[in-house]
Amino acid sequence: MKTDVAVVGAGLQGSAVALRLAQSGKQVTVLERSVPGAEASSAAAGILSPGVEAVERGPFHALCVASLARYEAFAREVERASGMWVEFRRDGTLEVALDDRHAKVLAGRAERLQEAGLGAEVLDGAQARRLEPALSRAARGALFFPDEASVDPRLLARAVHIAAARAGARFITGRVRRIVVDGGRARGVEHESGRIDADAVVLAAGAWSLLVQGHGLPAGAVRPVRGQIAVLDTHAPLLHRVVFGASGYVVPRADGRILCGSTMEEVGFEKAVTAAGLRHVLDVALEIAPSLAAAAVVETWSNFRPASPDGEPILGAGAVANLYYATGHSRNGILLAPITAEAVAAAVLGAAPPVDLAPFSATRLGAGRGRGEAPDDRT
C-alpha cells in the first residue's frame, strides 16, 4: 500500500496534522493502535494558558500565544466540520495566591508582565472573589489573564478526528512497529499487519514516541509523565473560569462538573489513579474553593504527558529526511494543537512555516542517534 503521508498516532496532534494535510490535497493515512484521541488528549484538563504555563518570554511563549490566537477559529472550524460542540470558552484564567510564598511569586511575575506590556491584571483577594465568589477567603491576590480560554479536550479530540476523516484522511487501526528508513530517508511504516510506503512520515505517538523503532530522536527526547484528574459534580456551576493555585488547578465545565488536577509523576507507563494522587488533586481543589468539599466525585483517570526534557514540543523536520515530528508537547499539547497542525503540515509540504520552528527542532535535544533508533532498513 502507498500513501503520500503516513501519520503515526491519532491523538490530537496526529489528527490535527492529518486534517491540515488532507485539506492541502495530500493522501494521508493515520495509524492508531487503539481508539483515536483516547490517550493523553482525552485525559487533559483543556486549559489554554500561555500566561501560567509559559512564564518566560521567548520562542515557547510566542508559540503558545500564536496557538491561542488561532484557537477560536480552529474550534469553530472543527465544530462545523464534525457537527460537534467542543466547549471552547474564553473566560480567562485566574492564578490565585493562597499563602504568602505564592503571593510573593505572583507579585514578582506581575511586575515582569506589566513591564513586558502583557495582558495580565493584578487583583487583590476581594477583587478575585468578586470574579469567583466561591474562592477561598484565604486568597491574598491573583493574576488574571482575561484573554485566555479552555476547551473540552475529549470532545475536541473526537471532533478533530471526525473533521480529518471527512477531509479525506484515512484512519487505520494498527500499532506501528517501526518507521522504515532507507538511505537516510523515511520511506514508510511497518505496522502489525502490513507495510505502508509513504513519501513522508509524521511521528505523533505522544508519550510512546520512542517505542516506535526508527524514531530518529535522541535518547530521552520524550518520556511519560503521569497526570491524575478527579472530576467533581457541583450541578449548578460553582466556578466559571480556570483557577490555578500553587500546585494545581480546577477547570469548570458548563454542565457544573469541575476537573481537579493534576499530578506530575515519573512512574513510567503505569496507568493508575492512586490514593496519594487523589489526595493531592482534591486538596488543591478544596484549598482553592472550600465549598467544593460537598461535591460528589464522579470520575477519575490518569494518563501520560509526552514530556520532552525542556517541556517544549518537538516539531517539524529532524535528522532523518522525510521524517517529521509532532510530539513532546508535555503539559501544553491541547493549547498547542492549532499551531502544531499548521506548522508541521507546512514542514511536510515544504511551505513557509507560520513560526520559526528552529527552537523546536529535535536537533536541539542533542546530536547523534538515539537508543532504539533503527539503522537504515531495507526490509
Ligand X SMILES: Cc1cc2nc3c(=O)[nH]c(=O)nc-3n(C[C@H](O)[C@H](O)[C@H](O)COP(=O)(O)OP(=O)(O)OC[C@H]3O[C@@H](n4cnc5c(N)ncnc54)[C@H](O)[C@@H]3O)c2cc1C
CA distances (Å), origin 170, targets 2, 18, 208, 255, 349: 12, 9, 21, 34, 18
CB 242 within 8 A of CB 251: yes
Q: Which of residues 32-91 bind ligand X (CB under 6 A)?
A: 32-34, 38-41, 43-47
To 10 degrees, what angle do helices 337-349 and 12-23 make? 50
Over the window 230 to 269, marking each residue x when it contacts ligand X by CB under 6 A and - when it does not, the resulting string is -------------------------------xx-------
Question: Residue 2 CB, nearest distance to ligand X (Å)?
Answer: 19
The count of residues in the chain is 379
Q: How far apart are CA 232 and CA 153, in angstroms?
A: 17
**H/E segment holding residue 203:** strand 194-203
Residue corresponding to grid cell 480556570: 242
Stretch that binds ligand X, among 267-275, 304-312, 348-356, 371-379 (CB under 6 A): 304-312
Residue 30 CA to residue 22 CA, distance in Å, equals: 11
CB of 128 to ligand X, least distance (A): 21
Is residue 329 within the footprint of ligand X (CB under 6 A)?
yes
Min separation Cβ 35 and ligand X, Å: 7
Q: Which of 70, 175, 185, 369 binds ligand X (CB under 6 A)?
A: 175
Q: Which three cell numbers stand for residue 200?
A: 513522508
x/- map, 185-224, ligand X, by CB under 6 A: -------------------xxxxx---x------------
Among 103, 160, 165, 176, binds ligand X (CB under 6 A): 176
Q: How far apart are CA 204 and CA 179, in angstroms?
A: 12
List binders of ligand X among 331-370 (CB under 6 A): 331-335
Residues at the site binding ligand X, with contacts judged by CB under 6 A: 8-14, 31-34, 38-41, 43-47, 175-176, 204-208, 212, 227, 229, 261-262, 303-306, 327, 329-335
